[in-house]
Amino acid sequence: MRIVIAGGHGQIALRLERLLAARGDEVAGIIRKAEQADDLRTAGAEPVVLDLESASVEEVAERLEGADAAVFAAGAGPGSGAARKDTVDKAAAVLFADAAVRAGVRRFVVVSSMGADPHHEGDEIFDVYQRAKGEADAYVRSLDGLDWTILRPGALTDDAGTGLVRLEAHTGRGPVPRDDVAAVLAELVDTPATNGLTLELISGSTPVSVAVKSVAGN
């Protein structure tokens, strides 16, 4: 498969790129800064320099041409203000989804956030973030041109992955290593039977491949 990842230099994205490249997939990561390119090459991915906050749908669609799947893993990051929650966590996700439709890339996986809700109330930065992610998710769900799966991990940690997770429509809150989030994403990309599902993810007791096959059967 050829898989294009938005937010290619993110902590989850770099892990995902390594996993996909190791299994023989062709991976491209969209990055904002050219100096990030070597990190992607080390992970086995082709760096594509493009700023999703200023690019047009046509420009993004051009980078998606010929891909079998697209993964939105971009984020403004914890140090960013409210404005960038809107321009990255929401607007860039909408742009990437529209571009995937235009390029004919049906398989579309989103890294969202547990608790994302377009009607989330409050004015704190995290409130704005949850609302932006929720609005982006709702937009992706509205597109008939995508076979989408939305993944909502719990509290992200840098602990070593265990390969054991709980993946369900509703898990309740809990932590999950970024390693395991990447492992689940790699399986989801390759499991189109999860189309139309919004899934929560935390650490658990089920091997990743079994967990994905289980939800795909529902």
pLDDT in tens, 145-169: 999 999 999 999 999 999 999 999 9
Pull the structure tokens for residue 110: 């989103």
Residue 173: pLDDT over 90: yes
Q: Which residues are catalytic?
A: 129
pLDDT confidence bin for 81, thresholds 50/70/90: confident
For 98, the enclosing helix (H) or strand (E) is helix 91-103
pLDDT confidence bin for 77, thresholds 50/70/90: confident
pLDDT (0 to 100) of residue 218: 63
Residue 85: pLDDT over 90: no
pLDDT (0 to 100) of residue 157: 97
Rounded to whole angstroms, the Cα distance separating 8 from 168 reads: 26
Q: Which domains does the chain have, with CATH numbers?
A: 2-216 (3.40.50.720)
